[in-house]
Structure 1
Amino acid sequence: MSTAHDSDLERAGPFLLAGRTAATEWVSLLLRRAGREVRLLEPRAEGVAVRAAWSEDAEGDAESFPSVAAAAAAHDTSALFIDYDDREGWPDGVVPEELPCPAVVISAFGRGPDAPRGGTLTVSAASGVLHLTGASGDPEGRPLLLHDRQTETIAGSYAAIALLLAASRSRPGHLIELTKHECFSICSAGEVVKWTYAGLSPTRLGSALFQPMEVMSASDGDLFVLCTSEEQWQRLMREMGDPEWASWEIFAHRGLRGENWDVLEPRLAEWMATRSCDELMDLALRERLPFAFALAPRGVEELEEEMSGSADVRDWLYRSTPSPQSAPPAPGSPGARAADLARPLEGVTVLDLSTVWATPLSTAQLAHFGARVIKVESQYRLDHTRSRIGELSLPDAHLPEWDRKGSFRETNQGKESATVNLGTAEGQRLLLDLAGQADVIVSNFTPGVAERLGLSAEALWEANPGLIIGRLSAYHPDSHLSRLVGFGYAMLLACGFGYQGEGEPWIDRSIAYPDPQAGFVLAFAMVDALQRRERSGRGALIEVDLFGPSAAMHRYLGRSYPPSEGAPRPLDAARGFELAAPAFSECLPCRHEEWVAVVCESGEEVARLASVLGADGPAAGESPRELARRLGQVSVQREAQQLEALLRDRGLAAQRVLDLRQLVREAGLTSAAHASSGLFRVPEGERHIHAASPWVLDGERYDSNRRAPRLGEHTPAVLADLLGLAPDAIADLETRKVAW
């Protein structure tokens, strides 16, 4: 495995990062994992200063410059990053002029003077994710955060990808602009389709999607117990000895089990309590049940350190192994074409064998940047989102159901579809032939499956030494947990995002947050590998698991980082600066069961909040949550929209907690006339709205803006373009169900 210190890239100027925020720290961590040099740009009373905040020279003297442009020029800067949410350092939101390098800038809701202030809580509220997140055991039904930096890492990953592309494909003065609101709203897009396609509005207060789907106590700890299909439920009942109550009509299917959970839960709990966590996880492995440990963040960090064999958080993000041989770029390959930041991955061909969310979301980003992404499926092996219940496009009734599902259409925009039956030896050989002509191949098979299909890294590199192989799994592929089924909602608890503290109920209602977290890290690593290949000709095996980036987030952005004295910690894995925590970041209840998220950066703002509500300020020893409950006794008498406006008028960061219907109604649509605004748009050839790309280059949005493909829609074109097959040869493969 290559380490974060290794770099076969030609020496280039550093990336200058500005803004003392968690997003800046996450960007620095990703860039340093990729072997890039980063330096911190800080404002001064006169001009700016540059210092090596993330290296052994971190305590060295800072270099002073009269302007940002002068600092960038002096360091031959690859690209500049500014997070304008650092309002003390960069309060005006103005992009420096006459920059000698491209720039990537980010803010919560935009840099304009009328843009609302924002923090993780308010951005989460505006994206719809906060409305979806809560604890079924919480009698207040309060909207909750999974992590107090949850928006920063998602937006930071987007920014890091943009920085890599800007540094290699851009011209001085190019500006890529992002908002954390748009970046994080991608995380709720998979739930939005339930509203736009099926009229359903998921909520943290509703019944569970599956049952059982709860944190339950074993004899020595907690587990998240989940059955996503009737087959899994029957296997669990068989293991429990087929109890008589399992045949009751009230438990006949998952809908009824949800309605009668108060009857079912104690029966399951009694049996679970007689088994240890290890016994139950052995059962999960044996019967292919998506159970997971329910872990606190500290437990996640310790387990990742054990699985990876490293205490360096950079190693937890992804693993990169170069191919043993190199292949010179072919004429017209990505390395040979002219730089174009508008479509920086044009000419790159990606084979996408993945399914569900995390990995298809990753390859969708490559499609937005101009790559040709070919979804490889077959009628024997569909993307699981093609078979989900509901989410049907009613206006497309003439299409097969597998082409009408909203979740599939959301994460596969801009891709092509080719059918290859990997259940046959000939289909496996056909895929190897396609891999020989591709640049990237991506999958999320359970570890070991690719090898059984003849798609080991060695076999793929024999076909194409320059191939980038991207793989995403639930757990580290070499660990004792690698064979477990990693279902998104279960991984939420396994990755430490359900823990609120000792004695508090587990957060068990939300999005599958580790999926986009890992998916964007995979996209970053693949872009980095493509850039390395331009210089070395060597491919790479990139391995990401859902667990690793989540563990890195807990430790690196945790309040106790760096670890205690004596713990192993490489110097240049240290943070560049202390991360400030807001004095108050809570949700206040309003009329009609609505909530308003409020963030106060200082004690003065907390006092101002209490004054606006006509309440006393915080009492000595009163915690923020206790203060929120007291203020909530007053706020609950107000309309949410009125309270939001009142607090903003008093200079406070406030945002209504939007449900998915409100999100769609208020977010606006991206159009040709307003390319740089709006969370959603209707892709070409589509009838429904879907999430727009969050990247905006010089006022124009990066976006594939094409609908998701029909199953096998592009099979003839793909086989003809990549392999030169004639129509009769393609028809023969389809007839024999090799390409089917």
Structure 2
Amino acid sequence: MSHSNGSAAAAEEVPVRPASSAALRGVRVVEAGRGIAVSYAAKLLRDQGASVVKVDDDDPLRRWSAASPDEPLTGDGPLWSFLQLGKTIVTQTPAEADIVLTSAGWDGRAPVVVHVTPFGLDGPLAGRVANEFTLQAWCGLMSACGTKDSPPLPMGAGPGEWATGATAALAALAGRRAGGATVDVAALEVMAVCLNNYPTLYREFTGNVAALSRSGDWPSVVRCKDGWVGLCIFTAQQWADFAVMIDRPDLAEDERCTSMGARSRNRAFVEANVGPRLAGHTAAEIVELGGLFRVPVALIGNGEPLFDMEHPRERGVFLGNPAGFRQPRSPVLHHGRPGHDDHAGPAAATQRTTRPLEGVRVVDLTAFWAGPYATHLLAALGAEVVKVESPTRPDGMRFATVKSPAEPDWMEFGPTFHGTNPGKRSVTVDLATEDGRARFLRLVATADVVVENFTPRVMDGLGLGYDELRRVKPDLVMLRQPGFGLDGPWANHAAFAQTMEQTTGIAWLTGLPDGEPLVRSTIDPITGLHGAFAVLTALERRAATGQGELVEVPMLEVALNIAAEPIVTWSATGYRMDRQGARGPGAVPQGVYRCAGEEQWAALAVETDEQWQALARLTGWGADLATRAERRARHDEIDERLAAWFADRDRDATAELILNAGVPAAPVWDQMLQDELPQLVARHFYQPLEHPIAGTVRHPGIGMHSQQLDLTLRGPAPTLGQHTEEVLRDA
């Protein structure tokens, strides 16, 4: 951890204004709960024009700062000020609202009520205490996060809470569009999908039940001349381009390097051949080369240097907060036609239906993970999603398959492709030809929404930008999800989730204090969540004005919101948050402890003095460490004693014992066995679907449950071009 006498970011003159659109103007929201997830859900709605009333029931977040974790503030903390900007703070709960977001129950009246809890409203873990740290253990993330020499580690910046908040905001608009609903959002279920890359689908397709290695991908975050630089080399073509970029074309065809798995198995060889090539260059030089060679390369950010990076500065990504610091703007950017935002009031809720997007047609041009997850959510909410792929260059996730290209139908066994595309229809169209573009435009003319996630040059180069599409469908909503945004110096740089975690400081907070920053690739599905939310806001606006619009959701700006705490903490206080392994500022002790048996670990995070006293009664020692400051000062000693206490104990029984005492704890669940977690089994989280080639495929849910909404998936992922004839014959 590092300190500064102050922050230039806080002192610089910046416009003080909340980012807002009018999409939800007139919608009344009550935020009646505690924690980041509920507050972020309400913030997303507020940033789209809703009026939000926050009921402050002495929320501990208000007096919290990571810069002084053991000393409650006398004023509002920076994270609180970021989350509550533009809301009205009250002490008495309003009796009525259009939407209620709650983590503690609701007694008033509202057409839409979204309950946001750790485990959901039913099941064996319902009502149990949990936090981000223990939920990362429960969901399986920790089992594959870390290094080969480390215990399981958490992912920094707490992405699960922010993903849960985005899900709650999406659930609120889905319930509103359906004419009213009560929705149960479970953080565990959101994190099971968004913090893992479909491990149980991988197991089903391969029969491999072995736990995934914590060795991580390499090269990922690598030493260079002036510090660290981030790489994301995913495809064989990217590796070939990278090999040329570092002047080692001989590595392009070396079987020890040509796949992510091979590079992981041969890490020592790759390090010895790649490391020296990067060590003589600065991070800025390597990033510039990456842009030229279209290899995803990133500066390694944290709260400190982000404000000085060229691209976010030129795009105006950071806004001023009245409390005197800078913060990321909303990641949902509306490009509505001038003069059409000033409608008189909110759109009327759609007539009651169990499928909120029934009758909405979405043309899906997306590839890989972020875009397809956005359209997957739209399909789960009832939209008809038509997935458009090139017959020669289909969705790249079809190539991330567990089958050899020598096997028949090898492209139909990609776990991530299956996970993000159930219920869609696939058509093949070659947009590089005049006939293909004409067929595509006829399809757009029948659509309500078009979604794409290429770099900006792709659609514009094809002559299929929003203005061209609007000529055939004037009220069209178009969602664009570029990595870095539609403009700016990095606009056409290649980017994946790893790139965003590296740039924004999420990777900086993940890993051992003296080790390299680590990536986990969670920003893809979290960007997809924000994209689906953006589409629903644009459909609300269209219902009120009759106007379509272009909506932009850059991956970078989603990641900046997920990394909001280290960003606003640095800007407000000059305190830089750094990676601490399994420890963190909020809970003391916090750690992962080895239990009896091979690779058996338990996670523990003590947030309050009362919880510590409850744990002390179980262990028989430590009652004298009455305050968090005392425990932090002796954290090493506490870890040693807890390690000895856990060492010969059964993992699950010990976690249950601690939970029964009211202390947050969890087994570090093997992500490959996620579908055996009793809480997920009890809530029927997995839905089996019959695929014509892959057979029975069990798909995870989307983190929402509702008796009023039908959220079942309508079918398996499509085979390539499966529905071309039936869809295009009418287009």
Indicate the residue corresponding to 2:185 in structure 1. Answer: 178
Asked whether 1:506 is paired with 2:516, we answer yes
Which of residues 469, 493, 503 is equivalent to 1:460? Answer: 469
Displacement of 1:466 in angstroms is: 0.8
CA contact (8 A) 1:416 1:709 kept: yes
Indicate the residue corresponding to 2:67 in structure 1. Answer: none
Letter in 1 for 2:103: D
- SS state of the match for residue 572, structure 2? coil
Asked whether 1:631 is paired with 2:642, we answer yes
Indicate the residue corresponding to 1:20 in structure 2. Answer: 34
- SS state of the match for residue 729, structure 2? helix
Indicate the residue corresponding to 1:40 in structure 2. Answer: 54
Which of residues 184, 195, 198 is equivalent to 2:203? Answer: 195
Indicate the residue corresponding to 1:157 in structure 2. Answer: 166
Indicate the residue corresponding to 1:266 in structure 2. Answer: 272
- Pick closer, same or farther for the CA change 1:638–1:452 going to 2, 3 Å: same
Displacement of 1:700 in angstroms is: 6.2
- SS state of the match for residue 228, structure 1? coil
- SS state of the match for residue 475, structure 1? coil
- Pick closer, same or farther for the CA change 1:100–1:3 going to 2, 3 Å: closer
- SS state of the match for residue 518, structure 2? coil
Displacement of 1:533 in angstroms is: 0.3
Select the structure with the greater relative contact order (CA < 8 A; seq sep ≥ 6).
Answer: 2
Give the alignment's Cα RMSD to 1 decimal. 3.4
- SS state of the match for residue 170, structure 1? coil
Which of residues 82, 94, 110 is equivalent to 2:120? Answer: 110
Matches of 1:615 and 1:627 in 2, distance apart? Answer: 10
Written as runs of structure 1 = structure 2, the 5 A alignment for 1:247-266 is: 257-266=263-272
CA contact (8 A) 1:596 1:654 kept: yes
How big is each residue's C-alpha offset from its partner over 1:286-331, in whole Å with a ceiling of 9 and x where there is no partner?
Answer: 222222222224334554741431433463412110146989xxxx
How big is each residue's C-alpha offset from its partner over 1:119-157, in whole Å with a ceiling of 9 and x where there is no partner?
Answer: 111211111112122245xx333322222x321111111
Letter in 1 for 2:398: R
How big is each residue's C-alpha offset from its partner over 1:263-296, in whole Å with a ceiling of 9 and x where there is no partner?
Answer: 4413422221111112211221222222222222
- SS state of the match for residue 476, structure 1? coil
Matches of 1:150 and 1:176 in 2, distance apart? Answer: 21
CA contact (8 A) 1:391 1:407 kept: no
- Pick closer, same or farther for the CA change 1:620–1:237 going to 2, 3 Å: closer
CA contact (8 A) 1:392 1:405 kept: no
CA contact (8 A) 1:595 1:640 kept: yes
- Pick closer, same or farther for the CA change 1:664–1:503 going to 2, 3 Å: closer
- Pick closer, same or farther for the CA change 1:189–1:248 going to 2, 3 Å: closer
CA contact (8 A) 1:105 1:178 kept: yes
How big is each residue's C-alpha offset from its partner over 1:450-481, in whole Å with a ceiling of 9 and x where there is no partner?
Answer: 01111111101112121111111211231212
- Pick closer, same or farther for the CA change 1:461–1:623 going to 2, 3 Å: farther
Displacement of 1:72 in angstroms is: 2.9
- SS state of the match for residue 597, structure 1? strand
Asked whether 1:489 is paired with 2:489, we answer no
Indicate the residue corresponding to 2:336 in structure 1. Answer: 322
Written as runs of structure 1 = structure 2, the 5 A alignment for 1:290-305 is: 290-300=296-306, 303=309, 305=312
Indicate the residue corresponding to 1:411 in structure 2. Answer: 420
- SS state of the match for residue 538, structure 1? coil
Displacement of 1:527 in angstroms is: 0.3
Written as runs of structure 1 = structure 2, the 5 A alignment for 1:425-436 is: 425-436=434-445
Displacement of 1:531 in angstroms is: 0.8
Matches of 1:132 and 1:478 in 2, distance apart? Answer: 35
Asked whether 1:72 is paired with 2:95, we answer yes
CA contact (8 A) 2:224 2:278 kept: yes
- Pick closer, same or farther for the CA change 1:507–1:561 going to 2, 3 Å: closer
Asked whether 1:544 is paired with 2:553, we answer yes
Indicate the residue corresponding to 2:135 in structure 1. Answer: 123
CA contact (8 A) 2:100 2:113 kept: yes
Displacement of 1:623 in angstroms is: 5.7
- Pick closer, same or farther for the CA change 1:118–1:392 going to 2, 3 Å: farther
Matches of 1:623 and 1:490 in 2, distance apart? Answer: 37
Matches of 1:252 and 1:374 in 2, distance apart? Answer: 33
- Pick closer, same or farther for the CA change 1:392–1:698 going to 2, 3 Å: farther
Matches of 1:35 and 1:292 in 2, distance apart? Answer: 33
Letter in 2 for 1:126: W
Gaps of 5+ in 1: 45-51, 85-93, 328-334, 566-578, 724-740
Letter in 2 for 1:593: E
Indicate the residue corresponding to 2:4 in structure 1. Answer: none
Letter in 2 for 1:597: A
Q: TM-score normalized by structure 1?
A: 0.81
CA contact (8 A) 1:132 1:509 kept: no
Indicate the residue corresponding to 2:541 in structure 1. Answer: 532
Displacement of 1:236 in angstroms is: 3.5
- Pick closer, same or farther for the CA change 1:611–1:307 going to 2, 3 Å: farther
Asked whether 1:709 is paired with 2:718, we answer yes
How big is each residue's C-alpha offset from its partner over 1:684-710, in whole Å with a ceiling of 9 and x where there is no partner?
Answer: 555021112322122765222421112
CA contact (8 A) 2:210 2:672 kept: no
- Pick closer, same or farther for the CA change 1:342–1:248 going to 2, 3 Å: closer
Displacement of 1:204 in angstroms is: 6.4
Deviates more, 1:231-240 or 1:681-690: 231-240
CA contact (8 A) 1:393 1:405 kept: no
CA contact (8 A) 1:297 1:497 kept: no
How big is each residue's C-alpha offset from its partner over 1:14-50, in whole Å with a ceiling of 9 and x where there is no partner?
Answer: 1011112101221122112211110013569xxxxxx
Matches of 1:692 and 1:660 in 2, distance apart? Answer: 15
Gaps of 5+ in 2: 1-16, 59-80, 320-326, 342-346, 575-583
Indicate the residue corresponding to 1:729 in structure 2. Answer: none
Asked whether 1:82 is paired with 2:89, we answer no
Matches of 1:559 and 1:338 in 2, distance apart? Answer: 38
Displacement of 1:439 in angstroms is: 0.5
Which of residues 444, 450, 456 is equivalent to 1:441? Answer: 450
Displacement of 1:95 in angstroms is: 4.8
Asked whether 1:659 is paired with 2:666, we answer no
Deviates more, 1:641-650 or 1:200-209: 200-209
Indicate the residue corresponding to 1:364 in structure 2. Answer: 376
Letter in 2 for 1:11: G
- SS state of the match for residue 441, structure 1? strand
Matches of 1:393 and 1:679 in 2, distance apart? Answer: 32
CA contact (8 A) 1:680 1:692 kept: yes
Displacement of 1:494 in angstroms is: 2.4
Displacement of 1:628 in angstroms is: 3.1
CA contact (8 A) 1:230 1:253 kept: yes
- SS state of the match for residue 103, structure 1? strand
Which of residues 230, 244, 259 is equivalent to 1:238? Answer: 244
- Pick closer, same or farther for the CA change 1:268–1:353 going to 2, 3 Å: same
- SS state of the match for residue 712, structure 1? coil
Aligned residues: 657
- Pick closer, same or farther for the CA change 1:392–1:154 going to 2, 3 Å: farther
